[in-house]
Chains A and B, each alone.
Chain A
Amino acid sequence: MITEYVRLEVRRTLRDTGFAIGTVAVPVMMYLLFTNLGGQNEEAWRTASMVGMAAYGALGAALSVGPGVAEDKSSGWLRQLRITPMTPRQVVTGRALTGSVVVLPAIVGVLLAGGLVNGVHLAAWQWAAVSLTLWLGSLPFTLLGIGNGYRLTAQTTGVVNIACNLGLAVLGGLWFPVSLFPGWLRSLSAYTPTNRFAELGVSIADGHAPAAAALAVVAVWAALFGAYATVSYRRSAKTA
């Protein structure tokens, strides 16, 4: 039942041209631009930026679940789902799974650009491990998106989404390396989910295991966003 639901929602998401451009085309183009301008094209930056931009694409795709949920709320689709035999829990789980499927094109797109266009060299296991890490690590952002979608109206979700997306991306150093930040911002950045999310991928690309601190920060944010999603969902179930 959930598989059918996920299939339907994934189709709906991928048919959205705005989604394809915003979460796949933009990160790929930004990656190619940032790594081929101004002589910043040494191998280490090409690799780190690849992971950062893949993380940025995954972030955008995961958060896009939010406006999707808000749209479904206002269009009456969520009400219609409530009178099918699917339980509310299955619907939310299906949405979260949808989020984890639709992040894949962004991750794969940027990694392909890195490998094929920018000539990033990694061992086969590293490619696999980086992809897997970015994929699993995007879960907190899916939960954040779901929380926004259930809590807010369609319009405000759009705005909050962009704020979360750009704020977390820039602050987390997905666009520019944190080494360019002033000291205080750099220490703040270390506590963002996006910074640690990318760090997981970068350490694997560098050939060593991710730091326990990075894992811990991502896990704490996952728990927080999970609680936010649960509370928002419960609240909306009462009113919708």
Chain B
Amino acid sequence: MKNETAVAFTGVTRHFGPVRAVDGIDLTIRRGETVALLGRNGAGKSTTIGLLLGLDEPDGGEVRLFGDTPARAVAAGRTGAMLQDGRPVPRVTVRELVTFVARTYPEPLPVAEALALAGLTELAGRRVDRLSGGQVQRVRFAVALAGNPELIVLDEPTAALDVEAREAFWDSMRGYARRGNTVLFSTHYLEEADAHADRIVVIDSGRVLADGTGEELKRAAGGSLVAFDLAGGPSEGLDLLPGVTSLEIRGDRARLHTDDSDATVRALAERDAIRGLEVAPVSLNDAFLALTARAPGAHTRPLETTR
């Protein structure tokens, strides 16, 4: 029977001195899924990816790719990756580089197809170290998919790309995912995670804070946002109103996260606190901030403020 799990992290930890870069991550990615690893800079995304690819060993826990160790899955040609760091390889052409990488894999894509998928057909004869930043990024993508791997891992693939190049990149990525491949990409852009992934895994301080679709994350963070002008009125007790999950005061305006906006609005009406009342679904950005603020160790940046 075919193993349906592409990636499995079980209680994985990785410490660098006192820094817990990865602090107990459990994560399962099924075959064919496109998953975004969403977090701020320094949240542990790149360390997680390094562990996944076997570039680094965990201090605790276990990483499995297709039921095997990362090293063996990599040696079997089941993964391809686009790493974040690094300059382009000097003195090779795009075609030479992609051809070489493809031939290290057992069942690669035809080189012309890999180049076309990454939008590099026109640039195939150019030297990699003489391309623009956006073009180099496309070369990295071509290198990741040249071997036709089942799992492709992209570490911040759109960093340093302009809007147009970014759109083109996501088109290519979707083209690759549509062939039934598994894609894991990391990003700190919420919109990208929401628009291009089936599932978003939010990580912060080396832990998984939330895992689900964009909609699920918004719901988990409190489905709606109810805002109104305090107009000098008291803010005490607002966080105890029905449905309210968290409270935020910005100047004279109170913003209530609520999972039952009807009940919250009714209660506000009873307190006659409805000046400038506004009810809106929570944005993914709000959801992200709410999730990361609740994380252990994040007490220094609470969303709730009372003045």
Residues of A whose CB lies within 8 Å of any CB of B are: 1, 4-5, 7-8, 11-12, 15-16, 71-72, 75-77, 79-80, 82-87
- Find out whether the CB atom of A11 lies under 8 angstroms from the CB atom of B104: no
Residue B55 interfacial (CB < 8 Å)? yes
- Find out whether the CB atom of B53 lies under 8 angstroms from the CB atom of A85: no
Chain A residues with CB under 8 A of B80: 83
Chain A residues with CB under 8 A of B92: 8, 11-12
Residues of B whose CB lies within 8 Å of any CB of A are: 53-55, 74-77, 79-81, 83, 85-92, 96-97, 99-101, 103-106, 143, 147
A-B contact pairs, 27 of them (CB 8 A): A4-B99, A5-B104, A8-B96, A8-B97, A12-B91, A12-B92, A16-B91, A71-B90, A72-B89, A75-B87, A75-B88, A75-B89, A76-B85, A79-B83, A79-B86, A80-B83, A80-B86, A83-B74, A83-B80, A83-B81, A84-B74, A84-B104, A84-B105, A84-B147, A85-B75, A85-B104, A87-B75
- Find out whether the CB atom of A8 lies under 8 angstroms from the CB atom of B100: yes
A86 CA to B80 CA in the complex, in Å? 12
Chain B residues with CB under 8 A of A87: 75
A82 CA to B101 CA in the complex, in Å? 11
A121 CA to B77 CA in the complex, in Å? 54
Query: Given A76-B86, A79-B86, A80-B86, A86 and B91 touching (CB < 8 A)?
Result: no
Chain B residues with CB under 8 A of A5: 100, 104
- Find out whether the CB atom of B87 lies under 8 angstroms from the CB atom of A4: no
- Find out whether the CB atom of B89 lies under 8 angstroms from the CB atom of A12: yes
Chain A residues with CB under 8 A of B105: 84-85
Chain A residues with CB under 8 A of B104: 1, 4-5, 84-86
Which residue of B has the minimal Cβ distance to A82?
Answer: B55
Which residue of B has the minimal Cβ distance to A90?
Answer: B104
Shortest A16–chain B CB gap in Å is 6
Partner of B90, one of A1, A7, A75, A84: A75
A71 CA to B129 CA in the complex, in Å? 13
Partner of B53, one of A72, A83, A86: A83
| Residue of A1, A75, A82, A83 with most chain B CB atoms under a 10 A cut-off | A83
Which residue of B has the minimal Cβ distance to A78?
Answer: B86
A82 CA to B71 CA in the complex, in Å? 9
A173 CA to B157 CA in the complex, in Å? 54
Chain A residues with CB under 8 A of B87: 75-76
Shortest A129–chain B CB gap in Å is 34
Chain A residues with CB under 8 A of B99: 4
Chain B residues with CB under 8 A of A71: 90
A1 CA to B104 CA in the complex, in Å? 6
- Find out whether the CB atom of B90 lies under 8 angstroms from the CB atom of A12: yes
Which residue of A has the minimal Cβ distance to B144?
Answer: A83
Which residue of A has the minimal Cβ distance to B90?
Answer: A12
Shortest B66–chain A CB gap in Å is 14
A115 CA to B85 CA in the complex, in Å? 49
- Find out whether the CB atom of A75 lies under 8 angstroms from the CB atom of B86: yes
A4 CA to B108 CA in the complex, in Å? 14
Which residue of A has the minimal Cβ distance to B70?
Answer: A83
Shortest A4–chain B CB gap in Å is 5
- Find out whether the CB atom of B55 lies under 8 angstroms from the CB atom of A83: yes
Partner of A85, one of B76, B90, B96: B76
A87 CA to B75 CA in the complex, in Å? 7
Shortest A34–chain B CB gap in Å is 32
- Find out whether the CB atom of A15 lies under 8 angstroms from the CB atom of B74: no
Shortest B9–chain A CB gap in Å is 18
A11 CA to B100 CA in the complex, in Å? 12
Known: A4-B100, A75-B86. 14 other contacts (CB 8 A): A4-B103, A5-B104, A11-B92, A11-B96, A16-B91, A75-B87, A75-B88, A77-B86, A79-B86, A80-B83, A84-B104, A84-B105, A85-B106, A86-B104
- Find out whether the CB atom of A11 lies under 8 angstroms from the CB atom of B91: yes
A84 CA to B97 CA in the complex, in Å? 12
A78 CA to B87 CA in the complex, in Å? 11
A80 CA to B147 CA in the complex, in Å? 13
Which residue of B has the minimal Cβ distance to A71?
Answer: B90
